[in-house]
Amino acid sequence: MTLTAAVAGASGYAGGEVLRLLAAHPDIEVTTVTAAASAGSRLGDVQPQIPSLAELVVTGTTPEALAGHDLVVLALPHGHSAEVGDALAAAGDGAVIADCAADHRLVREQDWEDYYGGAFTPPWTYGMPELLHAGEGAARAQRAELAATGRIAVPGCNVTAVTLALQPAVAAGLVDTTHICATLAVGYSGAGRAAKPHLLASQALGNIAPYAVGGSHRHIPEVVQNLQVAGAGEVGLTFIPVLVPTSRGILATVVAPLTEGVDQEAVDAAYGVYEGESLVDVTGPGAWPTTAPVTGTGRALVRATVDDRAGTLVALCAIDNLGKGTAAAAVQSANLALGLPECTAVPMIGVAP
């Protein structure tokens, strides 16, 4: 039986990528697309890269327009997402709802107040199947939660890169989590599709620009939350995102002090937790993760190495911010919640050059 899906925020980058993946899904048919400014337009006029869905008409985003589907994906700004998602959830029509905004990610109300502000909404099941949990069954626990839920909070893209880079070392107790430094090279699509002066090509091309430096980036509490799920106690995180002149991709470089006696053999053993993961590949010695091979996919490339001279672990992760960082995570998690094979319609083959 074919399931039906609605996508809210269909005119944005995240919404467009969700639609691109769902258009190739053998078990799901997109029947409704909604947005604000583009309401009344053909989808083909705002997302011309998806010809199979071109004749769908974009409607306004209301709970009524999104009701009656098996899957609803919300690609809306935070705040608006909670309003729509909570109304849908309260209606109780049985849909799986995947929220790509931040509204339902954070467990602690104080974190929301500190980094976002406004009304706090309770967390939904976190949409990272590979999230490690401290203790027995670490590698499967999040999948079990997703398979039993109808409410999914899709992770932040930067959060995904940092979490996948460092969580095996945290779970194995290999690093001091009170002094973590994460520097991320981030493609411009992570800033969304809205026109802003600093996102113009004339400003971006030939320029490398840090932003949200000094502990102000909204993804910080989410990373801390994930590492604590993996077994960390206190977490001190310096987080430095840097815009680089590429449209898609994140390369996260995460550095943390090693605990005493840790060597490369111990690190390699810890990262063996990713063996068998369809979407996370640990690269070989000297083969550092890069973004090009994962562009357009739901895959992540990870590598961790010991810096003996500095006494630190250097862990890297490359993802497509719109792929594994957003849309692919939404589809992957929704598949689990719908009882479908996890990687259905999640692209694994990149584009080159």
Phi and psi torsions of 108, nearest 5°:
-95, 125
Phi and psi torsions of 215, nearest 5°:
85, 15
Strand-pairing partners, residue 252, are 184, 317
Tell me the chain's radius of gyration from C-alpha atoms: 20
Which of 159-185 are b and which e, b meaning 16 or more Cβ less than 10 Å from the residue's Cβ? bbbbbbbbbbbbbbebbbbeebebbbb
Structure tokens at 71: 């899957």
Angle at which helix 220-229 crosses helix 157-171, to 10 degrees, equals 30
253 with 183: CB under 8 angstroms?
yes
In one-letter notation, the amino acid at residue 222 is: E
Q: Rounded to whole angstroms, how far apart are CA atoms 106 and 89?
A: 18
Q: Rounded to whole angstroms, how far apart are CA atoms 253 and 303?
A: 10
In one-letter notation, the amino acid at residue 227 is: L
What secondary structure letter does DSSP report for 190?
A: G
In one-letter notation, the amino acid at residue 127 is: G
Note if 181 is an active site residue. Answer: no
342 with 335: CB under 8 angstroms?
yes
Catalytic residue among 100, 157, 317, 343: 157
Q: Rounded to whole angstroms, how far apart are CA atoms 97 and 55?
A: 24
SS3 letters across 36-102: CCCCCCEHHHHCCCCHHHCCCEEECCCHHHHCCCCEEEECCCCCHHHHHHHHHHHHCCCCEEEECCC
Catalytic residues: 157
